Amino acid sequence: MLTERVLQCGDVAEVERLEYWQELVGERHAEGELFSEHRDDFWARYRFMDLGVVTAWPAQCKPLVFRRTARHVRRSDPELLHVSVPLCGSLRISRGEEQYTVGSRELVVADSSRPSVVHVGSGSGLYACGAVEIPKALVPLPRRQIQEAGRLRPSARTGYGALLGQLLTQLAGPARQYQPADAPRLGMLMIDLFSGLLAQAFDAESALSPESHRRSLVLRIKAFILENLHEAELTPSAIAEAHHISVSYLHRLFENEEATVAAWIRRRRLERARRDLADPAQAATRIHAIAARWCFANASDFTRAFRTAFGTSPRDFRGSVLSGQDPADTD
């Protein structure tokens, strides 16, 4: 697992927790004022993960209000962009005359250089989010566009936003699939995804460096593949045509990736099939039907590919994951 530091206010006297958390937020993020209707029983928890050049910080807390004024900005500005995805609860954000709400599984970008009032969660339930802090200096885009990033309301359902939201959501969980050595790569991936998101929003891909542009294009292609995995016609030719590049250039783009285009598609389809096989709600669905859903027309080919990828057959995997339940299916 990634190395992390957990900070929470449970060990602090209840009447002092909100002030303690305000001080912590000022030290770790940006100076501001905290208010909460739960002052008498406030609770919050951060997990800080050092990803090299950026910091991920999944958080949970009781509802609160964070206010950062122009005075706070003048006194201290760390020049950071805070990118988060609410996982439980919502945010209500006020920036001057602009007010809007960000719901679960949507992205929000906050700029430490801009005054704002953020209502975190509501009622009595806990708010939870996945989040990352990115230094503005590391985003390879023109300064004027970086300064406008806080005005964006990017989607976490398609393209770069979907990939970034997925990664933030993963890091908010146990993230057992990552090791400490992966931290710097995850940090650079965060920057690439966010840069691609901004570039696409501002139609500024020409402003990216050649290497950033290449990585940005690969990430966009991977997002397209993930959105269309269920399509049998998802071929290198179709992918290249959708992105207005040649098939040969598509293959060159993947030369530095972990697999070829076709192998990457196949692996992702096998992972989706494995996810469905492990789903108790789909225990009655036949294995060959799940295979067909992910474009494996031949049951024997699917079983062979699954065993090669995961070291066990689809049937044995399902049986072990479902703890001995009888799925009543056949190949």
pLDDT at 227: 81
The pairing of strands 64-68 and 116-120 is: antiparallel
Out of 74-78, 110-114, 176-180, 266-270, pick the least confident: 176-180
Q: How far apart are the first and last CA of the chain?
A: 36
The confidence score (pLDDT) of residue 205 equals 52
Q: What's the CATH code, domain 5-212?
A: 2.60.120.10
Q: What is the largest CA-CA distance in the chain?
A: 67
Domain with CATH 2.60.120.10 in the chain: 5-212
Q: How far apart are CA 327 and CA 17, in angstroms?
A: 50
**228-331: CATH class:** mainly alpha
pLDDT tens across 156-199, in order?
888 888 899 999 999 998 867 788 888 888 988 899 899 888 88
Q: What is the pLDDT of residues 206-250, one digit of tens each?
A: 556 677 778 778 888 888 888 888 999 999 999 999 888 889 999
pLDDT at 330 over 60: no
Q: Are 309 and 272 in contact (CB under 8 A)?
A: no
Q: What is the pLDDT of residue 182?
A: 87
pLDDT score of 94 more than 60: yes
Name the least confident of 59-63, 127-131, 161-165.
161-165
pLDDT tens-digit series, residues 266-324: 999 999 899 889 888 888 999 999 999 999 999 999 999 999 999 999 999 998 887 65
Residue 330, Cβ neighbours under 10 Å: how many? Answer: 9
| The pLDDT value given to residue 214 | 80
Q: What is the pLDDT of residue 206?
A: 56
Instruction: Give the chain's mean pLDDT.
Output: 87
The reported pLDDT for the residue numbered 222 is: 86
* Total residue length of the chain: 331
Condensed to tens digits (0 to 9), the pLDDT of residues 132-159 reads: 999 998 888 888 888 888 888 888 888 8
Question: How many whole angstroms from its chain centre is CA 205?
Answer: 21
Q: Given pLDDT bands bounded at 50, 70 and 90, which one contains residue 64?
A: very high
Give the 3-state secondary structure of the chain: CCCCEEEECCCCCHHHHHHHHHHHHHHHCCCCEEECCCHHHCCEEEEEEEECCEEECCEEECCEEEEECHHHHHHCCCCEEEEEEEEECCEEEEECCEEEEECCCCCEEEECCCCEEEEECCCCCCEEEEEEEEEHHHCCCCHHHHHCHHHCCCCCCCHHHHHHHHHHHHHHCCCCCCCHHHHHHHHHHHHHHHHHHHHHHHCCHHHCCHHHHHHHHHHHHHHHHHHCCCCCCCCHHHHHHHCCCCHHHHHHHHHHCCCCHHHHHHHHHHHHHHHHHCCHHHCCCCHHHHHHHCCCCCHHHHHHHHHHHHCCCHHHHHHHHCCCCCCCCCC
Q: Is the pLDDT of residue 329 over 70?
A: no
Which band of pLDDT confidence, cut at 50, 70 and 90, is reported for residue 326? very low
- For position 124, what pLDDT does the model report? 84
User: What are the start and end residues of each CATH 1.10.10.60 domain in the chain?
Assistant: 228-331
- Give the mean model confidence (pLDDT) for residues 262-266: 94
